[in-house]
Amino acid sequence: MYRTVSQKMYDNLAAGYRNYSQSRLLYLNAVDSVVKRYLTPNSSIIDFGSGDGVRIHNIAKNITSELCLVENSYNMLMKIKAQYPKALILKQDFADTNFQTEKKYDVAVCLWNVLGHLGNEQRILKGLTNIRKSVCQNGIVILDVNNRHNISQYKRKAVRNIIRDFFAYNFENGNVKFNISINGQNIPSYVHIFNKYEIEKLIDNAGFEIKSKFYINYANGKFECSPLFGQLCYVLTVKKQVFTEHPR
C-alpha cells in the first residue's frame, strides 16, 4: 500500500526515468554545476529524493567522503541497488515526522522540484526542516524548484498565475495534476509548482538563510537575470540562532 502519492508516481516512473531525465539534461547540468561549486574532496553529502541514484553519483564521483541517498520509492530503490549495491540508502519519507539521520552532513541537496512532490504546505515545510536538521552547523543546502511565474517556460499560464497570486493568493494555486508520457504510457502525476515568495517564506520558516539564488532556464540551462525567465535554485545556510537557542 502506498503511503504517499509521490511514491506511486515515482514507482511508475522508474522504468523510463533515465530517458525522461535526458529531456531536461541542459537544465539539470546547470543545477549540477551549482552543486559542484560547493563540494570539496572531503565533503559528506546527503541527497533527498535520489531517484535512480545516477545523478548524485555523477555529481559526487570525485568525492571521497560519505554519500547518503534518501529515497522511498520501491522501484527507484531497486534501480539504485542494482547499479550501486554498496550505496548508503535511507529508505524513508523525509517529510515524515519521524525522519532522522544518524549523522550530520556537510552538504545536502534536494533537486529537480522534489519538494513539490511532498504534498501539502505542512509536509513541504517538514521536509525542509528535516533537511536542515541533517546538515552540520556550517553546512550547505542546495535545492531547486519549479517556478509557476516562469514566463519563459509556462508562457500564458505563468501570466495567469502571476495575476491569480496577486489578487487571490492561496498555496494551492500551485497544485497541478498532469500526465507524464513515458514509453507510450501516461503516468498520472501531481506536483506543486512554487512561486518565489512562497518558497522563500518556507525556506525562512524552516530555519535557513539564503546564501545565493539562481534563475535557470528550463529549456537551455542558461542562467537568467530574472525569476520571470527561470526555475528557482537556492544555496542555503542554517540560521545561526537555530544552533545557539536553548531548549525550553
Rounded Cα–Cα distance for residues 57 and 124 (Å): 25
Q: What's the pLDDT tens digit per position in 12-39?
A: 888 888 988 999 999 999 999 999 999 9
pLDDT per residue as tens digits for the range 153-175: 999 999 999 999 999 999 999 99
Dihedral sign, CA of 179, 222, 160, 144? Answer: positive
By the 8 A CB rule, do 67 and 107 touch?
A: no
Domain coverage including residue 94: 5-244
For 190, the grid coordinates are: 501531481
> Residue 14 has which C-alpha cell?
522508474
The number of folded domains in the chain is 1
CATH number, domain of 81, equals 3.40.50.150
Predicted pLDDT of residue 2: 61
Q: Model pTM?
A: 0.94
